[in-house]
Amino acid sequence: MRIKKWLSFSPDSLSLNGETLGVVGGGVEMLHELYRRKVGDYPKFFKMDMLGKLGFVASELLLQSEDAPRFVPREDRSVVFCNRSASLVADRRYQETISDADNYYPSPALFVYTLPNIVTGEIAIRNKYYGETSFVVLEKFDPEQIAMHVAAAFQDPVCQSQLVGWTECSDESHWQCLMLLVEREGELDRHGLAATLERMFTSL
């Protein structure tokens, strides 16, 4: 395996392929500003939950740096994301709409985002990726577990590359995102990938 591109992102810093990028604002407004500056052509972005916005913006920044054709059907690329809190931010907002029997207003717009794999689906649809899409909820950032899931996806001979992400979001002001493009062919085995993930995560 080989890490072709990578991005690390928190409310305090943004780094793409080892180069620090300037960011404006903080919290969810930072994501909105990056969307306006770097993307701007996917209005559905503003309907997404916080986890969706984080994964979408991070994937756009990373894929724009790939210097490869976009939005063409690909069966050879998979999307594999992980985190610890699943869709907790959207879950809490949805709970607020159903917890008071006298003010009961369940919102389908919120309910759809109470599944964490919506973000991988949004990215796959946007980019026409037809490989595996999965979202794995772990107890904590576990590079060995993540590397195991990446290696398992490469068991499919059609899969030649993967968009791999750790997208942890506890509220609209606190998140961690580590996202990589991993190719099948390269010098890393599963344990080497895990060690690299550990070093990258430590620097977040």
Contacts of 3 (CB under 8 A, 6+ apart): 180, 181, 182, 183, 186, 188, 193, 196
Task: Note the pLDDT of residue 88.
Answer: 87
Looking at every residue in the chain, the average pLDDT score rounds to 93
Task: Note the pLDDT of residue 92.
Answer: 87
This prediction has a pTM of 0.93
Contacts of 134 (CB under 8 A, 6+ apart): 78, 79, 80, 81, 117, 120, 149, 153
Is the predicted pLDDT of residue 127 greater than 90, yes or no?
yes
Task: Note the pLDDT of residue 67.
Answer: 87
CA angle, residues 72, 112, 147, in degrees to nearest 5: 60
Q: Is 86 left (phi over 0), alpha (psi -120 to 50) or beta?
A: left
Our measurement of the distance from residue 91's CA atom to the centroid of its chain's CA atoms, rounded to an integer in Å, reads 18
Confidence of residue 86 (pLDDT cuts 50, 70, 90): very high
> What mean pLDDT do residues 170-186 have?
94
The label of the residue with tokens 């992102």 reads 9
Dump the DSSP string for 40-69. Answer: ---GGGGGS-HHHHHHHHHHHHHHHTT-S-
The label of the residue with tokens 């990215």 reads 123
Is the predicted pLDDT of residue 23 greater than 80, yes or no?
no
Task: Note the pLDDT of residue 104.
Answer: 77
What are 151-160's pLDDT values in tens digits?
999 999 999 9
Confidence of residue 119 (pLDDT cuts 50, 70, 90): very high
Task: Note the pLDDT of residue 112.
Answer: 84
The Cα 120–Cα 55 span in angstroms is: 8
Tokens of 117: 């794999």
What are 89-106's pLDDT values in tens digits?
888 888 888 887 777 778
Task: Note the pLDDT of residue 203.
Answer: 83
Task: Note the pLDDT of residue 43.
Answer: 92
Domain spans, the chain: 2-202
Beta strands per DSSP E along the chain:
2-10, 13-16, 19-20, 77-83, 133-137, 161-171, 174-183
Dump the DSSP string for 133-144. Answer: EEEEE-SS--HH
C-alpha torsion sign, points 62, 64, 69, 70: positive
Q: Assign 24 to helix, strand or coil.
A: coil
Task: Note the pLDDT of residue 201.
Answer: 94
Q: Where are the alpha helices (DSSP H) in 65-117?
A: 88-98, 108-111
Task: Note the pLDDT of residue 1.
Answer: 97
CATH code that applies to domain 2-202: 3.40.47.10
